[in-house]
Amino acid sequence: MATGIKDKVAIIGMGCTRFGERWDCGVEELVVEAFSEALSDANIDRQAIEMAWLGLFFQEQSAGKSALPLSMALRLPNIPVTRVENMCATGTEALRGAVYAVAAGACDVALALGVEKLKDTGYGGLPERSKGTFDDLWLPNATAPGAFAQLASAYSARHKCNPADLKRAMAHISVKSHANGALNPKAHLRRPITEDQAINAPMIAAPLGLYDCCGVSDGAACAIVTSVEKAREMGIKDMVTVKALQLAPSNGLEMSNNAWDGSYLLTTRIAAERAYKEAGIKNPRRELDMTEVHDCFSVTELVVMEDLGLAEEGGAIEAVLDGRFDRDGEVPCQIDGGLKCFGHPIGASGLRMAYELYLQLLGRAGDRQLSSPSLGLTHNLGGHPFRNVASVSVLGLHA
Amino acid sequence: RTALSAFYRKRRDITSMLGGRCRECNTLQFPRSLLCVKCSASDTQEPESLSQLTGRVKSFTEDWLAYTPSPPYIYGNVEFPDGANVMLEFTDFRPGELSVGDSVRLAFRVKDFDTKRHFHRYFWKPAPLHAPSED
């Protein structure tokens, strides 16, 4: 009988670059910057790393295919490197590969690194791409904001809420994330904004305005993992372990069938349920100390609070406006500034979220430090609400 | 870029908006697939066109970022009888005119011009149920 991943693997080192318009560097420099921090944090010899996973999404625009961008940038000693891609869940997917390899006993120490270099494309959003030769014949040429904006219209219709209240809650989410990002030297956007600014910003895809959308940036983040036994042998006392790693991709139901009403994220609910089971979490709102969720758009974060069980169904607007997810709230969300302030270098984002939980758990988050958190959650949603890949991970201090 | 071979394979599905109705669970779906989206039964879908059905708007957006010759680009999920849902590009709606719950009919319109291959892509778009009166 499988027992899941809980408390089998420890994260012993993490690194994260400054995210932003990194005109100063390319993929190689980003990889080395994140890796160097993680290696000195782990305090191990680089030769101890036996396997690696590379998360990279836009290979055409950023670093090229295969293991090579990582293996060559780090001059790894020909160890196995696997490149993974699972849309916005790519970074978390890289971590899953490394964690599972250690748990399986295939190696003692593994590396997961996610990187994306997007600003060289010269485009503000994510580069456009074909969805496949058949889909291009009939699907609308939707943008990411347009696909996620529809969550707002369906949510308002389902819960019969006033769209103005929803817009104000969305503004609160962005104001909160900017306030958090302003405290983070590694964030891309570090300026606080006001609710008025958010509400009155130019429309991108109704009802999402400019400040309802996260940016796109360059960045890399990485983790070095080993078994709990090995970490103990290394003398690590405050140990961050993986409590759950779950993944749920769509199977087409949302896009082809009326069983889904468009107001929530089906796969997030499934991934969260599995993750809570794997981690032994019964009451997420009470047990989780913090979350880093996929706030590609403000409205995504709002519905995800319900999908993760941190707000009652139909109650997210009130919970958000009450400050439940603010830095001083009951379950702080995006303590590092989130995608909103870090931007979204796809391959790096999942590991960037894990990096913040890791710092918070070890009491190393500086001005953003929460008071003694012991359990946190990361969430990614790759694709669009009607067809996507959701990942949920839970990290915590080892008891 | 239009893949003409893909269009050739799917020419009936696209031109007639031919979906599939599952013989096992009666679920209508577009596009037609090898396995039913609802019950996963294999090879059970009878071809059936959605083009004359009345749909209901489930969600939508007015997108000012997406490229379209006539912004904003308005698209969203439309539900049809017997379980079908399709994300489609609306036509003949001006900004502010569309609401969740509206009934729509489908109109066969140009979707795209592939100027390099001189190929016009056509597909079905949800339009107001009743044509607006001339003014």
Strands A375-384 and A290-292: parallel
Nearest to B62 among A136, A206, A252 (CB): A206
Cis peptide before B126 (omega within 30 of 0): no
Any idea which residues of A carry the catalytic annotation? 88, 344
Residue bearing the bigger pLDDT, A376 or A121: A376
Contact between A168 and A321 under an 8 Å Cβ cutoff? The reply is yes
pLDDT digits (tens, 9 = 90+) for A59-116: 777 788 999 999 999 999 999 999 999 999 999 999 999 999 999 999 999 999 999 9
Predicted local distance difference test score (pLDDT) of residue A124: 72
Strands A109-116 and B73-79: unpaired
Predicted local distance difference test score (pLDDT) of residue A133: 79
Mean of the per-residue pLDDT values for chain A?
A: 96
Looking at chain A, which residue has its C-alpha nearest residue B124? Answer: A138
Chain B residues touching residue A137 (CB < 8 angstroms): 2, 6-7, 10, 14, 111, 121, 123
Residue A131 has pLDDT above 70, yes or no: no
CA distances from A136 to A127, A128, A366, A386, B88 (A): 16, 12, 47, 16, 12
| A324, amino acid identity | R
Residue A127 has pLDDT above 80, yes or no: no
Predicted local distance difference test score (pLDDT) of residue A121: 79
Predicted local distance difference test score (pLDDT) of residue A90: 97
pLDDT average, residue stretch A156-171: 97
Predicted local distance difference test score (pLDDT) of residue B1: 63
- What are the start-end ranges of the H helices in A162-289? 163-181, 195-199, 228-233, 253-256, 266-279, 284-287
Predicted local distance difference test score (pLDDT) of residue A8: 98
Residue A123 has pLDDT above 80, yes or no: no
The helix/strand/coil state of B104 is: strand
Chain B residues touching residue A150 (CB < 8 angstroms): 59-61, 76-77
ipTM of the complex: 0.90
Identify the segments of chain B with pLDDT beneath 50.
none
Q: Model pTM?
A: 0.95
Residue bearing the bigger pLDDT, A320 or A141: A320
Size of interface A-B (CB pairs under 8 A): 133
C-alpha angle A368/A369/A371, rounded to 5°?
140
The helix/strand/coil state of A106 is: coil
pLDDT average, residue stretch A212-224: 96
- Gap from B60 CA to chain A (nearest CA, Å): 5
Predicted local distance difference test score (pLDDT) of residue A35: 98
Contact between A228 and A354 under an 8 Å Cβ cutoff? The reply is no
Band of pLDDT at residue A134, cut at 50, 70 and 90 = confident
Q: List beta partners, residue B89.
A: B75
Chain B residues touching residue A153 (CB < 8 angstroms): 59-61, 76, 100
Predicted local distance difference test score (pLDDT) of residue B135: 52
As a 3-state breakdown, chain B gives helix, strand, coil percent values, each rounded to 5, of: 10, 45, 45
Predicted local distance difference test score (pLDDT) of residue A60: 75
Predicted local distance difference test score (pLDDT) of residue A132: 73
The candidate with the shortest Cα–Cα distance to A100, out of A112, A88, A90, is A112
The helix/strand/coil state of A98 is: helix
Chain B contact for A138 (CB, 8 A cutoff): yes
Predicted local distance difference test score (pLDDT) of residue B134: 55
